[in-house]
Amino acid sequence: MRPGEWCYRLKEILKGSDSFVVPDEPLAQHTSFRIGGKAALMVVVNKELGLRKVRQFCTENRLLVEILGKGTNVLISDQGIPGVVVKLGGEFGLIDVQGDKIMAGAAASLDDISEIAEANGLAGAEFLAGIPGTVGGGLVTNAGAYGKSLSAITLEVTVMDAIGNIRVLRKEELKNQYRQPVIPGEFWALRLVLILSKGETKPVKAIREERRSKHPPEPSAGSFFKNPPGIPAGRLIEECGLKGLRVGDACISELHANFIVNKGSARFGDVYELAQIVKAEVEERTGIELEEEVRFLPVGPERR
């Protein structure tokens, strides 16, 4: 099938499901890096029924499919994604509080969760303040800050498999490793339940402002490398004298060395080349091999 046929068939399949299909959508508009080519098709899905239909269609037709949240932790190829990119909205963005638990959809903002928890007198989610991603993206990377992570407060996650089946993964089935996926890669998160506690914490506004004061204002994908055990990646990069290093319009931030920023018209190749230079320099000078925290899309078979 060609993209035009995918588009026609998906539009027919998704009628009445509060979803819509957009061909040739520029992905740079959907990422915090402002980098990336076009998606052959973007499908915006607002209800669970529509998501099931999209996932079944892509699986049955062996189409490349990627689910994209706010695009805050990804670097997308300039060639784009030659398949289907799914964006969640509608019911997937809902957040609900019940006692000491918060239920949040996969498209819900992590920062919003911290604010709602505070407003309801719940402690334990304040470290999410200022993190720009969504619940779904947070589960892919086990988002966190200040030594705390999303998996630590997650009670359960409702997921969808490749053929549209839905199940609930309980706490004991979830992973709790630094910057590693919380749920297996074959699943898409639909929503989660967080378990918190009554109590007061440092105000979310103060935490958010503290984070923003340390992060560069230019477009980026956040912290580019994972922190090796015992030392921040940014400190290693700075001690190697790499702040301000530039390839094209991709640059190591002068404010925070673990940020690669887009100075205007950076391309995928600029960022990728700069990242490889940083990794090589740090390994040569310290013996430490840095690992990317940012995900490269599309994901090739060797990275799946």
Q: What is the pLDDT of residues 91-146, one digit of tens each?
A: 999 999 999 999 999 999 999 999 999 999 999 999 999 999 999 999 999 999 88
Q: How far apart are CA 194 and CA 125, in angstroms?
A: 9
Query: pLDDT tens across 211-222, in order?
Result: 888 899 999 999
Instruction: Report pLDDT for 78.
Output: 96
Average pLDDT, the chain: 94
Q: Which residues contact 60 (CB under 8 A, 6 or more apart)?
A: none
Instruction: Report pLDDT for 23.
Output: 94
Q: How far apart are CA 290 and CA 235, in angstroms?
A: 12
Instruction: Report pLDDT for 302.
Output: 35
Instruction: Report pLDDT for 1.
Output: 62
pLDDT at residue 153 greater than cutoff 70: yes
Query: pLDDT exceeding 90 applies to what percent of the chain?
Result: 88
Amino acid at 116: I
Query: pLDDT tens across 233-273, in order?
Result: 999 999 999 999 999 999 999 999 999 999 999 999 999 99
* Catalytically active residues, by annotation: 179, 223, 293
Instruction: Report pLDDT for 56.
Output: 96
Give alpha helix (H) positions in the chain.
3-13, 48-60, 110-119, 135-141, 204-214, 233-239, 268-286
Q: How far apart are CA 1 and CA 3, in angstroms?
A: 7
Q: How far apart are CA 254 and CA 126, in angstroms?
A: 28
**Distance from first CA to last CA of the chain, Å, rounded?**
23
Q: 55: which DSSP letter?
A: H
Q: What is the mean pLDDT of residues 37-54?
A: 96
Query: pLDDT tens across 4-24, in order?
Result: 788 888 989 999 888 999 999
User: Got the DSSP string for 206-247?
Assistant: HHHHHHHHHS-SSSB-S--BPPPTTS-HHHHHHHTT-TT-EE
Q: What is the mean pLDDT of residues 152-176?
A: 96
Q: What is the mean pLDDT of residues 72-87?
A: 95
pLDDT band for 301, please (50, 70, 90 cuts).
very low
Letter string b/e over residues 191-217, b meaning 16 or more CB atoms within 10 A of that residue's CB: bbbbbbeeeebeebeebbeebeeebbe
For residue 38, the surrounding DSSP H or E stretch is: strand 38-45
Residue that has been written with the tokens 């689910």 in this structure = 67
Instruction: Report pLDDT for 184.
Output: 94
Q: How far apart are CA 107 and CA 41, in angstroms?
A: 19
pLDDT at residue 87 greater than cutoff 90: yes
Q: 197: which DSSP letter?
A: E
pLDDT band for 2, please (50, 70, 90 cuts).
confident
Residue of 213 and 275 predicted with greater confidence: 275
Residue that has been written with the tokens 């320099």 in this structure = 281
Residue that has been written with the tokens 């702040």 in this structure = 243
Q: 184: which DSSP letter?
A: -
pLDDT band for 304, please (50, 70, 90 cuts).
very low
